[in-house]
């Protein structure tokens, strides 16, 4: 805890158990004014309930901002241009939300003349790092309060007891599993409780956004997604905002059971953690984006993108969105997307996303060259002889040495 007197704090407030307790605790511990800030990034929440709860605990001000379009266009879609997956599977639904929330926390603190910002991330997870590194990257002098690292409570059950002691109303029963969840327009995550045993199957009831394969429609649905410079701009030729596109795809994918992931991942803090994720619309977009790149992106530019993607994903996962290296990689990625424009036809069926076709005015695919039929001299097959000889020269030399020395 800082020795400096803190008179005003901006808290990243969700209205859930953790941040509700934190709001009350901050007021009592620091004897300070607490501003509750809620970023609406597509989570299923009732703004009036959030306001009412924050008011009842004594927040001096409640700020709720609709950031869904900013979140989708400036963060999610920028990330998807890189076909980003952490450890080959995770679409970074939680990670990608933290830079925007950190940015607004810092900006509101400056606008309101606050002495500090606070968050509800635990001392075991990645979010504490993401929030704080992001905040320090934007304002090196900002004071950050992380209650989970300083108070005497060690579990969410402790927080339920805190609410009872202080007569704070919460929507939780003693028998209800206290899953730790995070939700936004891109995904929903579930951790804790029975999921902490990686050998146990995730209960069907945890999945809130996607149908089971058994309950998904028995008929495939065909859709078309159009892209412009790597960004999705329309569905079935209907132009929509970025947030509207992701919302529509979430509905379609969820209905068809697309986007579930059960993953044991490596946290930045050094421990392994099991998370169950639903990323319905993002799963479709990833597949569609790779499909349009397959005909518009130069092969070596595409291979380079694939090589740097794990590093790019790691930076986002670890909380380094505002770092110079992430910005440098983003510039490279953006350059590769200049001609990634066109349309992709897809089929959605029982958890599967199948590419049916792709087309673009910038396509590098030339049927005259690749055809197995008469190419009318578009390609001279004899040219392959020299190409093969040049590329095999070093391997021949390597083989000769190996045969000569037996090593």
SS (H, E, C) the chain: CCCCCCCEEEEECCCCHHHHHHHHHHHHHHCCEEEEEEEECCCCCCHHHHHHHHHHHCCCEEEEEECHHHHHHHHHHHHHCCCCCECCCECCCCHHHHHHHHHHHHHHHHHHCCCEEECCCCCCCCHHHHHHHHHHHHCCCCCEECHHHCCCCCCHHHHHHHHHHCCCCCCCCCCCCCCEEEECCCCEEEECHHHHCCCCCCCHHHCCCCCCCCCCCCCCEEEEEEEECCEEEEECCEECCHHHHHHHHHHHHHHCCCCEEEEEEECCCCCEEEEEEECHHHHHHHHHHHHHHHHHCCHHHHHHHHHHHHHHHHHHHHCCCCCHHHHHHHHHHHHHCCCCCEEEEEEEECCEEEEEEEECCCCCCCHHHHCCCCCCCCCCCCHHHHHHHHHHHHHHHHHHHHHHHCC
pLDDT-wise least confident of 84-88, 132-136, 374-378: 374-378
Give tens-digit pLDDT for 354-379.
999 999 999 999 998 898 888 888 88
Contact 283, 253 (CB under 8 A): yes
Active site residues: 18, 98, 127, 180
Indicate the average pLDDT of the chain: 95
Q: Residue 98: what pLDDT?
A: 98
- Per-residue exposure over 356-368, b if at least 16 CB sit within 10 Å of its own CB, e if not: eebebeebeeeee
Three state DSSP letters for 306-323: HHHHHHHHHHHHHCCCCC
CATH topology (fold) of 182-359: 3.90.1260
pLDDT of 175 over the 50 cut: no
* Section 150-155 average pLDDT: 93
Q: Residue 256: what pLDDT?
A: 98
Q: Residue 161: what pLDDT?
A: 93
Q: Residue 273: what pLDDT?
A: 96
Share of the chain above pLDDT 70, in %: 97
Using pLDDT thresholds of 50, 70 and 90, give the confidence band for residue 3.
Answer: low
Q: Residue 103: what pLDDT?
A: 98
Give tens-digit pLDDT for 223-252.
999 999 999 999 999 999 999 999 999 999
pLDDT of 38 over the 90 cut: yes
pLDDT of 253 over the 80 cut: yes
Structure tokens at 327: 């910005």
Share of the chain above pLDDT 90, in %: 89
Q: What are the boundaries of each domain within the chain?
A: 8-67+92-179, 182-359, 367-405
Q: Residue 188: what pLDDT?
A: 97
The whole model's pTM is what? 0.94
pLDDT of 384 over the 80 cut: yes
pLDDT-wise least confident of 93-97, 170-174, 350-354: 170-174
* Section 269-289 average pLDDT: 97
pLDDT of 176 over the 80 cut: no
Instruction: Tell me the C-alpha distance between 55 and 58, whole Å.
Output: 5
Structure tokens at 199: 């050998």
pLDDT of 173 over the 50 cut: no
Q: Residue 375: what pLDDT?
A: 82
CATH topology (fold) of 8-67+92-179: Rossmann fold (3.40.50)
* Section 13-42 average pLDDT: 96
Q: At what angle do helices 280-296 and 242-255 cross, to 10 degrees?
A: 110
Q: Residue 4: what pLDDT?
A: 77
pLDDT of 1 over the 70 cut: no
């Amino acid at each position: 805890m800082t020795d400096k007197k803190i008179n005003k704090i901006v808290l990243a407030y969700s209205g859930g158990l953790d941040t509700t307790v934190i709001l009350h605790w901050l007021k009592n511990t620091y004897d300070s004014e607490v501003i509750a800030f809620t970023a609406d990034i597509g989570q299923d929440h009732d703004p009036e309930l959030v306001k009412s709860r924050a008011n009842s605990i004594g927040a001096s001000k409640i700020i709720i901002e609709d950031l869904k379009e900013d979140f989708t266009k400036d963060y999610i879609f920028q990330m998807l241009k890189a076909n980003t997956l952490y450890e080959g599977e995770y679409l970074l639904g939680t990670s990608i939300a933290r830079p925007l929330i950190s940015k607004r926390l810092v900006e509101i603190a400056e606008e309101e003349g606050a002495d500090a910002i606070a968050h509800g991330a635990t001392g075991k997870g990645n979010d504490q790092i993401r929030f704080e590194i992001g905040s320090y990257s934007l304002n090196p002098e900002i004071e950050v309060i992380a209650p989970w690292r300083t108070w005497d409570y060690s579990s969410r059950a402790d927080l339920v007891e805190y609410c009872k002691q202080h007569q704070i109303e919460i929507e939780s029963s003693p028998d209800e599993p206290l899953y730790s969840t995070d939700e936004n327009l891109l995904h929903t995550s579930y951790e804790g409780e029975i999921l902490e045993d990686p050998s146990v199957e995730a209960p069907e009831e945890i999945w809130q956004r996607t149908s089971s394969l058994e309950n998904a429609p028995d008929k495939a649905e065909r859709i078309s997604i159009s892209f412009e410079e790597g960004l999705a701009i329309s569905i079935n030729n209907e132009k929509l905002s970025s947030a509207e596109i992701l919302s529509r795809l979430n509905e379609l994918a969820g209905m068809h059971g697309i986007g579930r992931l059960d993953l044991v991942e490596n946290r930045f803090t050094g421990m392994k953690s099991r998370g169950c994720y639903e990323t319905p619309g993002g799963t479709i977009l990833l597949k569609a984006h790779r499909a349009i790149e397959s005909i518009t992106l130069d092969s070596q530019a595409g291979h380079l993108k694939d090589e740097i993607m794990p590093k790019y994903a790691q930076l986002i996962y670890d909380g380094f969105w505002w770092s110079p290296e992430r910005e440098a990689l983003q510039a490279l990625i953006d350059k590769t997307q200049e001609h990634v424009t066109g349309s992709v036809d897809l089929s959605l069926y029982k958890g599967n996303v199948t590419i049916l076709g792709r087309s673009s005015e910038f396509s590098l695919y030339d049927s005259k060259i690749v055809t197995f039929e008469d190419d009318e001299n578009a390609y001279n097959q004899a040219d392959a002889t020299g190409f093969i000889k040049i590329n095999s020269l070093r391997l021949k030399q390597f083989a000769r040495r190996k045969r000569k020395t037996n090593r």
